[in-house]
Amino acid sequence: MGPIEFEELPEQALLLVDSAPIIYFLESHPRLAPRFKPLFEAHGLGRLRFAVTPITVAEVLIGPLQAGDEALARRYRAMLEQWQFVALDVDIAESAARLRASLRLKLADAIQAASALAINATALVTYDRDFSRVHWLPIIS
């Protein structure tokens, strides 16, 4: 399916959000935060729903934890806990294995794509170019 535009999303669309867009937004990346800001604003207004995986939670928390900022890590976690959490189960693991075998995705990417499939996500929000091989999943990047 390939990339889609933010404006094409239906009301209450469920988006699986990869780690990088969240980090760019939270850390106000000068070039990349503005790219994802409309999605976060739409989510804040209740127009979109977000989902995250254990991969995303772990990657988003790395920066604050490496900096020794436990308070920031708790704030990030509290925000992520408000979104739908997609637990890694055996079905998602098998789906990820199949994606790795057929598309040669990295394990983390395969888990993200398999999780999006498992929750029937409208799209995956990412800045990772490796997802271009996943043709059945609309991508917002």
Q: Structural domain of residue 115, as residue ranges?
A: 6-140
Element (H, E) at 13: strand 13-17
pLDDT at residue number 136: 86
Residue 1 lies in a domain: no
85 φ, ψ (degrees, to nearest 5): -105, 125
| Three-class DSSP category at 84 | strand
Residue 102 lies in a domain: yes
Residue 65 lies in a domain: yes
pLDDT at residue number 141: 87
Q: Can you give the pLDDT of all 141 residues of the chain as single tens digits?
A: 445 567 778 999 999 999 999 999 999 999 999 999 999 999 999 999 999 999 999 999 999 999 999 999 999 999 999 999 999 999 999 999 999 999 999 999 999 999 999 999 999 999 988 888 888 889 998
Contact 126, 20 (CB under 8 A): yes
3-state secondary structure 16-76: EECHHHHHHHHCCCCCCHHHHHHHHHHHHCCCEEEEECHHHHHHHHHHHHHCCCHHHHHHH
Q: What is the pTM of this model?
A: 0.92
Partners of 48 in beta bridges: 13
pLDDT at residue number 96: 97
Q: How many domains does the chain have?
A: 1
Residue 126 lies in a domain: yes
pLDDT at residue number 3: 52
Task: Identify the CATH number of the domain in which residue 51 sits.
Answer: 3.40.50.1010
